[in-house]
A and B are shown apart, each in its own frame.
Chain A
């Protein structure tokens, strides 16, 4: 009989004699034969996968360790953000309050929004996804564990930078969306705005690396057999979220770079007197900022879509409708950023289009809400309803989510209506709405998720009245704080005022809000104390306490061992209909794929993207201090930019590059190994020899983000040419032809050389890589030449924009040169062959993308001039 460790009735039937697969063939010395002693296997795997003690903790790369660190750190930032919120409510409790002076109050509300958005919400769901995804998908870790660790350190350092600046009294104070020109140098001369721009960009790097990693993990690191349409729905949510982050974050990163360039070097991107436009910032910010709301909501909705079926004891109703709805939501979310800009005087008809798109988001939202209701409605069909607690603590928070989020959604539709927004915009009505959406759509679901997965993460069972008390205090306190705020706003209270007069009629509304906010804070305190007591004294959780149907509960112990699964199962049915209780012992015996501890290797299976057929063994890297050093060097880059020590910034950036080049060392790609036994009678290549290794897919994913960045920049330039006052400049910045021709030729040569470096089985290596390296350096030099030929960049945004696109191309040519250098070096050290060609493939891919992008950049000056002249009245 086969030993495939799937325990559901459907699977068992499909494996009976006469079914396709038949009995497993005899295999000599292959992993996964089920003859291993589970304890010995566990000990062997632990030895390979465990994070070391003491200082070794700083070298941790394991997804469970790093994921938990993300979550705990985000909760620390949540506490800080919450204390800031309390300060706001104390200040606003009574009219004419003198508790905080206006400058300090501005720092407090700016930091409250910034901390909650960038340092709490995003990192919390990243941590949860990082922790859960490999376990749900049947992998032993995320695909780039060192990138997880690097992302964590970047987040920690960037967040700490913001908090330290606040404690030093130099926090940003222009509001969390940092509108120009208030955040420009003349009106924010201090260091606070620079802290925001650099600190947030630092954290964004962490978010982008998380997005790359989440996407590649979901696309490659699934259990064999788990095709995309068999994924647990949470993976679909995170796949969508990762894609949105890759496209949504670059506009903000670009905006931050441009604004910092304006503040530091006087490049006038946002200055209307010199061809800039304050509205450019708003477009770039909300092009990020609106998708951001859904980026925060969707992981939480993914948790709801996972919890509700567990409670109902049946799979999610309308799995395909839900997946379609969330993909629709992702697309729509990029088409409605202008609904934050209804009062900027844009033409009414164009506003109406964005208004229609904004209200349409209600449709995919309603599809999900009714899918959850339908799932709940059908819960009697499960075999033993008594086994599940009827009103579990997670379900209490799901109720909180429904109540609060539905209300936030309804006020969202109201605000999408243009004439209403003309009144409500930037009032406390908006403050109320956004808290209903974010606390309803993120915090309650995350609390539900926290209680649901607490036994998994901590190994402790949780029960008790304190959690219920905490919920009701938070729920009542929240509604008391924010429900009345709708009225406060409509009665005319603008957001961000630090005080108000008694004649306004807002005082009793504000007083009730403030008192309720303290009830909410007490509720959080109850929840935290209860959780800490549970972690310390709680009884041990039994395996799979909720009788869930997803793979993360099939781990051998609670909390899970660092390797997650002693063997990786084959998944033949949708992965939210499994029976973890039956699968766990089978997998613990090593029955399945890679059920051995061999060579000290950290192995997991990789599959084809769509069908989920195993096609490689992904070799994960050992723990290392490299991510920490690299993040520290990155931190030095940001600090030297902040304190304007630019030579040091360049040196530190080169150190970052050098450290990154050391990362591939130790991935066992030093010889052609051929196909290796992977268990279940399957022979697989290591990913260094596989057709689509994770690194190559990751570069494709990065190219999406990079393309979004370039597109945002080109959009910005064209927007200025059409829309900004003071265009075209009196003296158009003409560019010399020669460097353009050099760059165009170099781009073509680099592309051809990279393609010729390896063709089929023929490795032409060194000479071709040398040509590619030289071509990229030529492009870089041509860009330097062009920028030097421009008139002073401070004089007009036209040349500043042209310089920005040249810098983009120069930087990418430099990265191409680094990739060529890396391939040469790896060739010399014997890590590259016709079979092990990742290093060359990365260069090929880079050059293939750089060629069209570079030609667009080179043609951009012509397009910009034509457009600027055409837009003349």
Chain B
């Protein structure tokens, strides 16, 4: 399940929360699927037993009593989880991501003097990063699966997303919304530095990470 873009291999709190949500929902879905298919096969193969349950009870139990106690808590959990993912917490490190067919340029308002980087985003490890996303042409989507969800880059608007990388290292990013023939190659790298090294990385050259294209 690992891979440079795998949401199942989370490397920060936002992505980890969603991964945990996925595994929980998968477990619940597996139980529900087995239950429904089991009842279906039971009714099909052992009708003399299944027929003892009146139709009205089947419909009320299966149609209302079964789904509602699952859906209502799920909705609450999702709301709380979504709010927590969107909460900034202490002072985030702010960056901008500007999409254009077919590359990303990243700016660093919190790091005066830092040059814009192309297709490589430098962030501090262990600190929440707030990305403000915009687009110059069509709709793109900013997505670093191991660090968090995606947010669309929409011309005429600014959207934002919070990411955190627990540890220094490289993380894959990819445009998530079809944006033309270059979409498949509209990838970028996120490099998380120890907070102390970030200024140096931004001040120094970004050449080693310059994309081949």
Contact = CB atoms under 8 A, between A and B. Distances in A.
Nearest to A360: B71
Nearest to B3: A505
Contacts of B152: 343-345
Nearest to B22: A420
Interface residues of B, number: 80
Nearest to B17: A419
A426 B154 contact: no
Interface string A295-315: 000000000000000000000
B2 interface: yes
A403 B75 CA distance: 25
B203 interface: no
A371 B61 CA distance: 11
Given A181-B138, A380-B51, A490-B6, A321 B29 contact: no
Given A418-B78, A494-B174, A380 B47 contact: yes
A784 B62 CA distance: 59
Which of B64, B156, B179 has the most C-beta atoms of chain A within 10 angstroms of its own C-beta? B156
Interface stretch (A50-58, A404-412, A816-824, A852-860): A404-412
A413 B74 contact: yes
A187 interface: yes
Interface in B173-206: 174-184
Contact of B59 (A370, A410, A493, A499): A370
Contacts of B79: 352, 355, 418
Interface string A350-365: 0110011001101110
A321 B78 contact: no
Interface stretch (A270-278, A511-519, A728-736): A270-278
Interface in A152-185: 174-175, 179, 181-182
A580 B177 CA distance: 54
B115 interface: no
Interface string B42-73: 11100110110101101101111011100100
A419 B18 contact: yes
A402 B183 CA distance: 36
A521 to B, nearest CB: 25
Interface string A324-347: 010000000000000000011100
A422 interface: yes
Contact of A182 (B138, B141, B143): B138
Contact of A370 (B48, B58, B68): B58
- Chain A interface residue bracket vs B: 35 or more
Interface string A479-503: 0000000010011111111111001
A578 interface: no
Contacts of B169: none
A426 B152 CA distance: 11
A504 interface: yes
Given A345-B154, A355-B75, A493-B5, A422 B51 contact: no
A101 B29 CA distance: 39
Contacts of B111: none
B7 A370 contact: no
A505 B2 contact: yes
B176 to A, nearest CB: 5
A376 B184 CA distance: 48
A317 B7 CA distance: 43
4 closest cross-chain pairs (CB), A and B: A272-B156, A422-B149, A492-B5, A370-B62
7 contacts: A321-B63, A345-B151, A366-B63, A369-B62, A374-B58, A413-B29, A506-B3
